[in-house]
Amino acid sequence: MPGSRLVLNVTDTTSFVTYLFSEQTFQSSWSHPNVPVLVFADSQLPGFSVQHHGGPVGSGLPVELLFWGDWWNSAEGVGRRTLIIDRTQALLASDYFSELKQYGVDRPHWRGARTVTKPGPPGAFNSNDDQQAVPDLIDDLIDDDVFPDPDDEKIAFVVFMPKGFTQSIGANGAHTKDYNYTFPWDVDWYWVAWVRSFGVDTGEDPEDALRTMSHELVEMLSDPESDAWYAGNPQTGEIGDAAVSSPGKIKQTAWVNGVHVQAYWSNQYGATVIPIDRDYQARILGSIKLTHRDVVNGSFRPDPEESRLCELLPQCCIADRDYKYTIVKRDELVRLSAETQRYRQPQLAWSVEGIPVTGNGKLSLNVLAGTFVGHKSKFVSKTVDVQCTLTNNELTLQTVGTESNFDITVTCAVTDGSITGNVRTNVIAKPSTTVGFVGAELTVDPEYERQKSECAKAAAKMFKDIAQTKPKVKFGDPVQFEPGVLGDVPTYARLNQYARAQRAVELAYMAHAVLPKETANAITVSLISDVPALQAAVAIQASRKQEGQGYRTSGGAIA
């Protein structure tokens, strides 16, 4: 029994792979958006772009985190401090800062973190002047030789305020500059940002501390002394100030390497951006369940053509008598879900044969359907009904009474609901898969199948024996189907039927390599008639020729 099957589907606009792992399970290939930068559709920048006003930038700076106050040594504080340190290191290791290169700013890097308990932090900032406590802290630490003079090492300081700290100045944080003075004329400027406390006790997400830090850090690096990169004025026109969408002044945010960050302005894109992770991807997982079956029995006598090899091989003399067959009319239910990587809040939009599925209901689809007349296969263009049910992010497809075998294409567009703001360029994965429904399954008399199998084995041995006696034999006339016919075996053939089709094609090529054209053609006709899946592939090829366009095709391999 084959282990799996790969189906390559090709349409006029795209191609995709479906993996069949058993008669009941399958999945699509991963869809990878490969979007390096989120680009937002609007911003609050006062002007088309920021400009350089002559001041310095912070290129390639080390980042030092300072946790201010005794609270950071409490059990709760240690946990929060660990989270912030881990997130900061992850952010510095990401591509988030890559768009700062256009402003002459190389990526910052990790320097370290420490907790400062003396002097103690202020309990609140009730005026803008109160913020001076933050640069004063850095000045004291430099004076105490905790940190080097800024002219020896320029550091990007970020101070995190403790739980219980409040502010009434309308700011989650800010960055500023100040100087350390050494008599008589040594003035060394240093740069520092502060971030207020975010806590679950106040109904906030502690991760927002990182969002605020990312905002302040990109502004500190691009405009550390309020005279570098900004538009309008440095109070409202720095690159982070632009990252707001209307209406509602929604902050433009995303998660980068597991860190909540805010967008910033890029002159290169003429928009606010977030350089995003490159490993967003999604795929579709599917399972098939038989929900109802009806059995129809009949009998047949073999065609005389089926014994064309009787004179050459006694094993191919099919007994001329009645044989039984059974057709099982099947209703199937297919459950489809999406597996994602990197999407924090995956949002799914399903479509079937290009038709969006937005709720529960019935779809009427035109398909190339395989049916049976007696025990003979028949292929017709037909409209079938598929019931669609959406439950959360899972799509269920169900057939009732189709009595037909057919394939349909299902696509899932995946976006990330954790991205906020109006996005122009998004990380959208679009995995697609082919769902093969079996509505009619043929089972032939075991004795008939045994005789056909013995004939095939004997023919294969004969072909090999002839080839060994004629080692330089050339292929004769081509077989009666196009090269790559196995690529057109429909998905609904699944594993067992595909394996039979593969074996039949191998025998047909062997026959045309070593036998006269007429005999080889007769064998090919017989081989095709024994495998409904191969008949379906030939019908697909004929339909494609007739339409003169790219009918859905597939390529298969057993692994």
Residues 357 and 298 in one domain: yes
Q: Where are the beta strands (DSSP E) in 269-322?
A: 271-275, 281-300
Residues 269 and 123 in one domain: yes
d(CA 352, CA 88): 42
3-state secondary structure at position 234: coil
What pLDDT does residue 27 have? 95
Report DSSP state, residue 429: B
User: 291 phi and psi, to 5 degrees?
Assistant: -105, -25
What pLDDT does residue 1 have? 43
d(CA 375, CA 435): 24
Maximum Cα interatomic distance, the chain, rounded to a whole number of Å: 116
| Residue 477 resides in a domain | yes
Segments in 304-412 forming alpha helices (H) = none
Residues 399 and 457 in one domain: no
| Residue 10 resides in a domain | no
Residues 369 and 504 in one domain: no
| Residue 4 resides in a domain | no
| Residue 61 resides in a domain | yes
Residues 512 and 452 in one domain: yes
Residues 113 and 55 in one domain: yes
Tally Cβ neighbours within 10 Å of residue 269. Answer: 16
What pLDDT does residue 474 have? 47
Residues 204 and 289 in one domain: no
| Residue 24 resides in a domain | yes
Residues 48 and 112 in one domain: yes
Total structural domains within the chain = 3
Q: What is the pTM of this model?
A: 0.86
Domain interval for residue 471: 446-558
Residues 225 and 326 in one domain: no
Residues 297 and 271 in one domain: no
CATH number at residue 246: 3.40.390
| Residue 462 resides in a domain | yes
Tell me which of 275, 305, 335 is where a domain ends. Answer: 275
What pLDDT does residue 482 have? 66
Instruction: From first to last of the 559 residues of the chain, give the pLDDT tens digit.
Output: 456 888 877 665 566 788 888 889 999 999 999 999 999 999 998 888 999 999 999 999 999 999 999 999 999 999 999 999 999 999 999 999 999 999 999 999 999 999 999 999 999 999 999 999 999 999 999 999 999 999 999 999 999 999 999 999 999 999 999 987 665 666 789 999 999 999 877 789 999 999 999 999 999 999 999 999 999 999 999 999 999 999 989 999 999 999 999 999 999 999 999 999 999 999 999 999 999 999 999 999 998 877 877 887 899 899 999 999 999 999 999 999 999 999 999 999 999 999 999 999 999 999 999 999 998 899 999 999 999 999 988 999 999 999 999 999 999 999 999 999 999 999 999 999 999 999 999 999 999 999 988 988 888 888 777 767 655 444 445 556 666 788 888 888 888 888 888 888 888 877 777 777 777 777 777 777 778 888 888 888 877 777 654 444 344 433 3
Residues 410 and 527 in one domain: no
Report DSSP state, residue 31: B
Tell me which of 444, 472, 500 is where a domain ends. Answer: 444
Residues 236 and 305 in one domain: no
Tell me which of 246, 275, 304 is where a domain ends. Answer: 275
| Residue 9 resides in a domain | no
| Residue 406 resides in a domain | yes
